[in-house]
Amino acid sequence: MWRVYPPHFGRTIARSGWLRLGDGHRQEDDLLQDQEKPITTFEDLGVDPAIVKTLAAQDITIPFPIQVESIPDAISGLDVAGKAQTGSGKTLAFGIPALQRIGTAKPRHPLGLIMVPTRELCIQVATELAPLAQSVGKWLGYAYGGASMKKQEEALNLGIDLLVATPGRLIDLEERGIVSLADVKVVILDEADQMADMGFLPQVRHVLRQIPNFDQMMLFSATLDGAVGSIVNQFMHDPIYHSVEAETETVDTMEHRLIEVHDRDKSLVAATIAGSFDRAIMFTRTKRGADRLFSELKEQGVKVGVVHGDLPQRIREKALLQFREGKIRVLVATNVAARGLHIDNVGVVIHYDPPADYKTFVHRSGRTARAGEEGLVVTLLRWNEKIEVRRLARLAEIDVGVEKMLSSDPRLLDLANWEPPPAVVTSDKPVWGAQRRRRR
């Protein structure tokens, strides 16, 4: 569904079907690790006073490291390549400079363009930047697949200064003559590595070739090598690199537990763990698995929603909104929700199906323990998944072992305070025939 945020957009129009403003990331004073260092403010970074005031109204006063590093360079018009994980404050790092650098657009000719990989991230980025756009008199809109093309055309006819879009829908709009990229001056790629993983980079390249003379490009990604590096080299001009990632991709406020379960008891174990938290996200490997878990939890009386790529967008938006508002306590999702989405106060992430790779493990886990909050990550595994889960745990530097539990185990009610066993040191390599007795 298409949304337009005019200069007078405010909280009063947060009616049914609209995402509430202010549900984006929070930044707390206690994130400053060394109180003796001078505190950098948004004013110090050259941010427009109107934006500073709007941020303060949302209790956002202390910039995150990626914002401190990137905003001054971006405001000055330099190309910026930022290496930072999801939840590090990237949206404001590129959104604030973009809003300050663009002017007023003609109908169908946006001046700023933000490309994102998923519909959920498209909505989230626009929602977070909407009040800032309002404060400086800019029009902001967003577009993604599965929505009405007619409504998008009507919105673009009004004049959109800053457009947030997924690559596929943007190409559709451009090929139909509904939007022109000829006047775009500021281009932003968010979660560029996810776009590469999802096979969207050919579409991204196509879009960039349709923009004749953009003045500035900003790219933010968890990695800047490989396919993402090729985008940097091909389209960016002498970019300034900023990296604020930690030495490891786990955080001190995140606790991990590895629980071996039986197939028939698995959903009961997950429901028991989630019952101790106000918000829980459970990740499955497949869409069918998500639907099955959703049905099982619902039968157990759990207030649950589900999000995956085969669901209509209105159903996905409704589930996310209900989860944010606390109307449902559990969100079942495939990896479509593993990147980019920020929902405050998610107490536990449950890998209902262990992820296939380390990167997915990190991004799924990152839905909790955000912005200094505490969080628990629980991986459920079957007996034949121990080797792979132990490998993921070693890569993530998680020093806990696997414990077998049934849904009746009282330890599930307070896993955060239960002391897990230490990790088992093993090569995880089967020794073929070493223990085999030779037939005589």
The residue among 233, 232, 160, 155 whose CA lies nearest residue 189 is 232
Q: Quick one: pLDDT at residue 53?
A: 97
Are 226 and 197 in contact by the 8 Å Cβ rule? The answer is no
Q: How confident is the model at residue 26 (pLDDT cuts 50, 70, 90)?
A: very low
Q: How confident is the model at residue 41 (pLDDT cuts 50, 70, 90)?
A: very high
List of domains in the chain: 3-243 (3.40.50.300), 254-417 (3.40.50.300)
Q: Quick one: pLDDT at residue 364?
A: 85
Distances (CA, A) of 23 to 5, 9, 316, 323, 342: 16, 16, 17, 11, 8
Angle 330-355-367 (CA atoms, 0-180°, nearest 5)?
A: 45
Bigger pLDDT: 197 vs 51? 51
Are 1 and 19 in contact by the 8 Å Cβ rule? The answer is no
Q: In what order do the strands lie in the sheet with 402-404?
A: 304-307, 330-333, 280-283, 348-351, 375-381, 254-260, 402-404
Model confidence at 427: pLDDT above 70: no
How does the average pLDDT of the chain come out, rounded?
84
Q: What is the pTM of this model?
A: 0.70
Query: What is the tens place of the pLDDT at every residue in 145-173?
Result: 877 788 888 889 999 999 999 999 999 99
3-state helix, strand, coil in the chain (%, to 5): 40, 15, 45
H helices of 76-166, in order, are: 90-101, 119-135, 149-158
